[in-house]
Amino acid sequence: MISIQNLYKRYHNHHGSDWVLKDINIDIPSNVSVGLVGPNGAGKSTLLKLIAGMDEPDKGKIIRDCRVSWPIGLRGGLKGSMTGRQNVKFVARLHFGQADETMDEIIRSVEEFAEIGSAFDEPVRTYSSGMRSRLGFGLSLAFNFDVYLSDEATSVGDRRFKRKAQQVFKERVGQSSLIIVSHSEGILKDLCQAGIWLDNGKAHWFDDIEDAISAYHASSNFAPK
Amino acid sequence: MIRTPWQVTRSAWYAMFMREAVARTMADRMAWFWMLAEPIAMVLIMIAVRTIAMGKGKIVPGAEFVPWLVVGLFGFTLFRENMMRALGAVSANNSLFAYRQIKPVDTVLVRCYLEGMLKSFIFLVFIFGGILLEIDMLPADPLMALFAWFSLWMLGAGLGLTFSVLSSLIAEVERVVKITTTPLLLISGVIFPLNFIPQNLLPYVLVNPIVHGIEVLRSAFFPAYRLLPGVDLLYLWFWALAFITTGLLLHIRFEARVKVK
């Protein structure tokens, strides 16, 4: 379970600093996939980064008592001058130290999933953005996390890859869950059970993702008739 | 399976060390060449300057000029490279903070370790090269030489630890540190021996802790070398320990802000 308690977050800039997230109290149970919805700038990605531990809250805390992934599809985690294989090795070492058998297994599974062929041994800076996200996506799936965080990750790549990614997530339902930020309702409805709607710094929990989406639509002026 | 904090840190260090080592030595095919060629070029230029400017007279009491220069230059670059590499460590590895287990201080520690290892290896290559060319480069007091070498390393690492935080908080710090490194090369007595400066200036020269490290390092190599009066490694260690402590404290205090930058 991930427990968010009295969480406040703001960014300091030259034009004052309003709270992006204000007094958020939410418990996200394990084995429930959650979709984050809300308009641009509502703090969806900020909340995801906070859950991932990439950023610290100004007040309050987040308690994770399960294995939480880094945000999937994250491009920053790959080093351009190193090959895909070297990047995978780095992350494998980071998680397992010097265990060589697991390393080989991880490299093989990433190579198979990413399907980028011989480019796997080329420097990452030569990759197209689609290839990069394939690699990043395959990389995070090679580790068995309890909760996967995803920031629009499933919407990159071509059709075939998109379908494959969604397939993997569906298979994993039960063992691991997802927290997704996405503007695509199809993906949210396909993959998530519950939803969180972010509105003016407040977070509202919905047990059903459909309710979260309709609450979000009702708040914006162009709700579908 | 839940790993202990120490296990997590160990694998983070291991992963980052391998990554940095590959990046430093393999990234471009000339990397190894330049590691050796840079100090050689520096020594050749300095010898040329000396022979043209000062004739061939023996100017360093108790030591041959070339080994004297090589030892000083390596001691100084060990310090400077540790400081400068550590300074850039946090911003260069910014993207890695997506992985929760990597903290900004890890990037600095790993870089300092790698830098010290590389510089030590290259210094050894030079010493063996010197022996082959029949230039006396073997330290007379190897333990003392190792300790002075280690001291300079720690001084660089301490300053690097401190400046790595300060430069992420205040952008100008890096520029100022860069500006100061060139005059430091001169006032640390790397190129011109400090035995010749007027007595009344000596206390000011000795404020600089690098002088203490380099002079002790030289005296460990050349038994007849006349040590500058007032040189004391303990003084260097006051600086080193003070900066290491300050640096670690700053890393604890400002971890969150450094990460986000």
Chain A residues within an 8 Å CB radius of B256: 55-56
Chain A residues within an 8 Å CB radius of B97: 54
CA dist., res. B21 & res. B115, Å (int): 9
Give one word for A97, left, alpha or beta, with left for phi > 0 and alpha for psi -120 to 50.
left
How much is the pLDDT for A69? 86
How much is the pLDDT for A154? 55
How much is the pLDDT for B161? 95
How much is the pLDDT for A33? 87
- What are A185-204's pLDDT values in tens digits? 887 888 888 999 988 888 88
Alpha carbon A39 to its chain centroid, in Å, reads: 17
Of B15, B94, B100, the CB nearest to A90: B15
* pTM, 2 dp: 0.86
Chain B residues within an 8 Å CB radius of A77: 95-96, 98-99
How much is the pLDDT for A153? 57
Q: Which residues of chain B have pLDDT under 70?
A: 1, 27, 54-59, 261
How much is the pLDDT for B128? 92
**Chain-chain contact of B14 with A55 (C-beta, under 8 angstroms):** no
Check whether A223 has a pLDDT greater than 60: no
**Chain-chain contact of B100 with A52 (C-beta, under 8 angstroms):** yes
Residue type, A176: S
Residues A72-87 as b/e (b if ≥16 CB within 10 A, e otherwise) read bbbbebbbeebbbebb
How much is the pLDDT for B26? 77
Which residue has better confidence, A63 or A144? A63
Length of chain B: 261
Confidence of residue A156 (pLDDT cuts 50, 70, 90): low
Size of interface A-B (CB pairs under 8 A): 64
How much is the pLDDT for A137? 81
Chain A residues within an 8 Å CB radius of B23: 79, 81-82
Complex prediction ipTM: 0.81
How far is the alpha carbon of B37 from chain A, nearest alpha carbon, in Å? 23
Give one word for A7, left, alpha or beta, with left for phi > 0 and alpha for psi -120 to 50.
beta
- What are A160-182's pLDDT values in tens digits? 877 787 788 778 767 788 888 88
- The residue assigned the tokens 């002088």 is B211
How much is the pLDDT for A75? 57
- Read off the pLDDT of each residue in A66-81 and give the average, rounded to a whole number: 76
